[in-house]
Amino acid sequence: MTGPAFTVTSEEVSHVSQTLSNIIRDNDRVAPTASMYVEVIADLVCPFCFIAKRRLDEALEAVQGPSDVSWYPYQLNPEIPGKGYRSKTT
């Protein structure tokens, strides 16, 4: 089964094309209305978490829009004593 046939004039195509072009140009000048929300769960003494934080900072800077970052602590090894471990020397 096919739908009804219809024709489109070249003037209509031109009008729609011009309208879409104007929308795109107008939207280039509009400030973003959405805000990015990021939740980060990290162990702040972990070197990989530190690298990820630096990359997150760079990404947020590249986006250039409003953002909100919430930080939540996570301990990778909860068995670590309060004074830490002795370093192993050879």
The answer as to whether 90 is a domain residue is no
Total structural domains in the chain? 1
Residue range of the domain that includes 45: 35-76
Model confidence at 8: pLDDT above 90: no
- pTM of the complete model: 0.51
Q: Is the Cβ–Cβ distance between 53 and 21 less than 8 Å?
A: no
3 state SS of 69: strand
Percent of the chain exceeding pLDDT 70 equals 62
The answer as to whether 67 is a domain residue is yes
The answer as to whether 65 is a domain residue is yes
The answer as to whether 1 is a domain residue is no
The answer as to whether 22 is a domain residue is no
Residues 64-81: what's their mean pLDDT? 86
Instruction: Give the C-alpha distances (Å, rounded to integers) separating 43 from 35, 71, 74.
Output: 26, 10, 5
The answer as to whether 61 is a domain residue is yes
pLDDT at site 72: 93
Q: Identify which has the larger pLDDT, 18 or 38.
A: 38
